Amino acid sequence: MTYLLSAEAGGDGRDLLLPAAPELVWGLFAFIVLFLVMRKLVLPSLNTALEDRRALIEGKMEEADAKLVEMEEAKRAFEASLGDARGEASRILEEAKAAAESSRETILESAREEAQRILGRATSEANAERARLLEELRGQVGALSVQLAERIVERELDVSTHSGLVDEYIQRLAAHN
């Protein structure tokens, strides 16, 4: 390939890839001038922009770290308040259970007392009814006894005159039972 480039260059053997010496000098001079101008004008503003960017990134990182610490503290505070809330809920639940048990005991005691009153009332009513029935039965037994005695004796007996006799007879019957 080098042969082809040399042959095309006119045969003097110069390499086509290398520029001419004056062109090389002017190119080097332009490069140095451009480098100095860029170093004096562009690089300081570029360095400032990069420094500002670095400071901004570091500030954001510090802010993110501060937010992270703040979030950790908030998380700890939340977990502590959650624990407190759970404790409070447990305490309230225990109080409610105790109040329910107390209320249950009060209601049961009230129900027992009411049952005793009802039982006492029923017993007294039953005793009163029993006494009334016994009195009615005594009257009927007395009348039947007088009728029976009347038939046996075949004469008329008066219930009012012999009621003491009938009552005595019923009491003797009751005493035997």
pLDDT tops 90 at residue 152: no
Predicted confidence at residue 151, as pLDDT, reads 67
146 burial level (CB within 10 Å; 0-12, 13-18, 19+): buried
3-state secondary structure of 11: coil
The string of pLDDT tens digits covering residues 76-124 is 999 999 999 999 999 999 999 999 999 999 999 999 999 999 999 999 9
Question: In residues, how long is the chain?
Answer: 177
Domain boundaries, the chain: 17-176
Averaged pLDDT for residues 127-152:
80
Q: Which residue matches tokens 């005159």? A: 161
What is d(CA 49, CA 51) in angstroms, rounded to the nearest whole number?
Answer: 5
> Is there a contact between 159 and 146 (Cβ–Cβ < 8 Å)?
yes
